[in-house]
Each structure stands twice: as structure tokens, then as C-alpha cells.
Chain A
């Protein structure tokens, strides 16, 4: 007789997986490899806003004079902005765009300005662009960890939603359900 197989959730396996993800997450935090993609997204959006708004306005004022008066909203080309050495000029609010500690902008013109420099911040400068940098393996491990953490999140959500739906089905009278 063929017995009907009941679907079961491998609770022990899930728990082991959650523990492994938690421990490895702690290890990534301890080794300072925890770069949340949500923070990266908000940083990139902020940078985009900076370029579109304040940065354009600041640059427009820089082209007219060395003073810190915000004179307009005209947006010059990005290449022309990079071509200027604005290191001696302070921004409108006194805070630097490139850094928070200095009150000066430290943009320099470079032909190799790329997404990698944006993404990597200060650490990207001067690395070999044609070979694997094994010192950066921690960041790759973080990305793999993030995939596992998202899986844990989905598993937990599935269990909660499944539990709630089963509870609702039990409460609903058969006549109503039909």
C-alpha cells in the first residue's frame, strides 16, 4: 500500500543553518566586512542627490567666484567639475563634500575616475585592475552571507505566514469555507 507522504519542514536542519548564519554574521561584523547593501543603496542615492542638487549649485558658484555664495542652480558638466582643483574653496555650509572632517573639497581630475572608485571609497585607489585581490575576499564572503541571511529571513517569514494561514483555516467554519 502506497502511504501518503506528509510534507515536513526539516526543523533541525533549519536551526543549524540559522546558527551557522548567525555565527558567520558575527564573524563578518568582527572583521569589519559588514557592508549592508541597504546602506550602500542609500549612500548611492545620497550621492546622486548631491551631484544633482547641492554639488551642481556649489560648482556653479565656484565658477563665478571663490566666495561661498550660492548664486544659482545651473548644473555644469561633470568633466568640467573634475577639471577644477577646488581644494582651497570651502562649501556653502562649511562642510566638505569629499570628507566630513575637512572644510574643503578635495576633488582632483583623473582620467580613471570610475564606478570602482565610487564604490570603494578611499581604499580603491591604486589597486591593480587586472588581477584578483585576495585581500578583498571578505567582501565576497559578505555577499554570500547576505544571500544566506535573506534565505533565513524568507524561511522564518514562510513559517510565520504558514502558521497564521493554518490558524485562520482552522477557525473558519466549513460552511463558510465552502
Chain B
């Protein structure tokens, strides 16, 4: 039986790119329409959960060593990710509470409007935090996009493979 192997970096890259594109579309409810906004919103909640599970080792290791070295880039990353997690949870929960096409009637009454405001506010805030989250991982994105998306060879790899060949060819040219 052939064993199915998944490259976690490749999976992460394609999941993250899909999430970013869907997230941008979901930010504009006028673009998707309410039905798609709500259904895909539930879908992206599952994608967020998958994203966290795929980075669970990092979460555990940084949580354990958080106070060992406070002034480190990963600590800033951790705090930002925590803020993003809280914000996204607020967006998803308030989104479910005010949904109108999913046939979920929570009977909010007067609180409906306040929850809508919280949903809008937290969603705009999430755009800012997601932007910073993407920005902090730009090196990872560039490296893995070159590797899996555009299939571009990195400069040092190119140098390793091409250098001996050029030396050999120059010798031949001298001899001839």
C-alpha cells in the first residue's frame, strides 16, 4: 500500500494563500452577498482552526519558553497572534450570532445592533492584525513561494550546481 505523504510547508503555503484571498473577499460583504459571506465565513473558521493545529508545535514551544527571553521577535509574533486569535474568535462568534441566512435564531432582540457593531469593528481590526501577521512572516512566504509556487531555484543552490560545469567548460575551451 502506498503511503500518502504531505509536505507540511507546502500545505501551509497553499492554505495560507487561500485563507488570505478568502479573507479579503469576506471583508467585503457587498462583494460576496450575505449568503456566501456567512457560509464561507463558517468555512474560514475551520481553516483558521486547521492553521493553528498545523502550527501547534510552535504555539506550545513559545508558550513554554515565553518568559525565558522576553525581547525576541517570536514574542512579538506570539502576542500579535494571540490578539489575532481573540479578534477572529470575536468576529466568528458575533457573525454566527447575527447570521440571517443560516437559520440560526438566537433571539437577540435589542442586542442585535450592538453585536453587529462589534462584528464590524472586530473585522476591520482583524484586517490590520492579519496585515501585520502576514508582514512578520514575509521571509517564510518568499522562501516557500519560490520553492513551491514559482519553482525558482535559490541563488546559493544555483551557484553550487553551475560552478563546476562552468569551470569544466572553460578548460575545454582553453584546450580547443
Contacts and interface: CB of A to CB of B under 8 A. Distances in A.
Interface of A: 5, 10, 13, 37-38, 40-41, 44-45, 47-48, 51, 77-79, 114-116, 118-120, 123-124, 127-134, 136-137, 139-140, 143-144, 146-147, 149-155
Contact of A129 (B35, B117, B127, B136): B35
Contacts of A150: 128, 130-132, 134-135
A127 to B, nearest CB: 6
Given A45-B121, A79-B110, A140 B28 contact: yes
Nearest to B128: A37
Contacts of B136: 154
B52 to A, nearest CB: 19
A143 B30 contact: no
B: interface residue count bin: 35 or more
Nearest to B100: A114
Contacts of A44: 117, 120-121, 124
Interface of B: 20-21, 23-25, 27-36, 98, 100-101, 109-110, 112-114, 116-117, 119-121, 124-125, 127-128, 130-132, 134-136, 138, 142, 156
Contact of A154 (B33, B109, B135): B135
Given A118-B116, A129-B33, A153 B27 contact: no
A17 B134 CA distance: 14
A10 B135 CA distance: 15
